[in-house]
Structure 1
């Protein structure tokens, strides 16, 4: 059964806790038929420099991370206040969803959603999450994080967007335990497509997969472990690391990427070669075992388990195993990640 449109009396009742806090209903943007109230835009200033040490997020982390957070807040403050818009959806069943949308000067948006039976309680939960929790900034990059408040007041990351030098990285975090985060990269500047290497993100560690070229950009994955809190913490750290990595990489010639990550790039090649190495090592093991003294040679035991170890490693890869000979990484001779027009 379709819920009835919001009545004038319902609008006044739903808006009361918001107007009490100084927010005003935007009647032109609201939709009575869809039972949605939209509140007028408001500016949300970030904490001034002399108050940043009071941020509970900074107080609960180690000194290096706290310093990084302070630097991020300073960079965000330099871009001006964030713009906030609140949406309250009534499902007609006694359940409401409050969505806060924050917009950065760069155009990036971050949302925070909360669901429950009391709009006033939802507003209190949303206001308890400081705006700076949803943004990070650094040299040549901005990170926007979208959360959902599930159960307790601890935000659970659902989506993160990195904007770095004409490239947007979007990480979508599944609510299902054990499912890897989906990553997409899209070019935001006109012109020829960036000549990005497949191991651009894979050099960050075992949990990162290689880039796969798609019509609209690139796709990848990242492994997330544990429950919602651990997955959120891991994804937040991964977004910050990827943002700094992309900003630095795109600001330098392609040759510098190889020079700084040559060992990691070779490690990526070995990871991609694991599926092919498994049957090869199995054949070598079968041919070599008769040459060893089973009773007296410890090397026999090690050789016997090599194929098993390779099979286990194959299941830990972030992408479907492929029987391929991955190309050996080489130093690029290009002067820029952006090919010249007409090439």
Structure 2
């Protein structure tokens, strides 16, 4: 039985561990032996219950960026040393995101094939990104990119690569296929955004939009953040949040929120963070939810202007607010966008995702 050893830095409820969990489930049910190395202590996330042996290596994030960078560097040195015992292994290494470079270096040293699943382009500081790209160039046998935008932006000379679009899990897809979209679920026009607690994700812009529309009593806003209650309290300390905004902390099951959403927003700020795919956008589309997304990066492979939604930069908060009011008052437009959204989501099926993943490992 062929063995695949997976590497990820931090388990949480964000996109890259969610996709990795689907990859592990795919290879496991296709007869591969899977093992996973995770950084940090037993934090909850999408990788908590994957069907494979899990091993831990040291890593901790700090509020201080320098301390976090030192912790990260040390974690990769520890990981590198741990992997030296695989010197006679016939396994392959699967590095999820650019960050677990210790695994790639160990694989190169040991003569083990290294596969990279690349999700991101916005890595800071810049010298770190240059170094991580150098490691990929020297160590990778094959690269998987989550979008054509990312493959074009972060392509590597002479390294075989393939684009495998993310998909939503079959269990969610089944629920989404039976969902009947309503522009006014529960009698109100409901606006949703799901993201990590980072300013570059447009968290402040979402709050600003909800504040601009606080007098619109027929509209409500929900913000699901990949963070603890304490982290959320600290982030919004000293800020008075509008009454029409509800904030939900780390959420393992977002389905009930999609089922009562009128419009999904993605407000990443391209000058700080370019969205390379947008898994929450795809999830929204599968539920037939019209989406307003940035006009750059991976989201434009999911949403076309005035078809599945709208392409509006996150700094245009007044324009986004006006578009929400327009949709609130035009149910026929919402239904038209919803139908197109459902149809578009079919292009990103779990079957296509699984076929792409297994295709990468054919012949190894």
Q: Normalising by structure 1, what TM-score? A: 0.23
Larger strand percent = 1
Q: Normalising by structure 2, what TM-score? A: 0.22
The higher-RCO structure (CA 8 Å, 6+ apart) is: 2
Which structure has the larger Rg?
Answer: 1
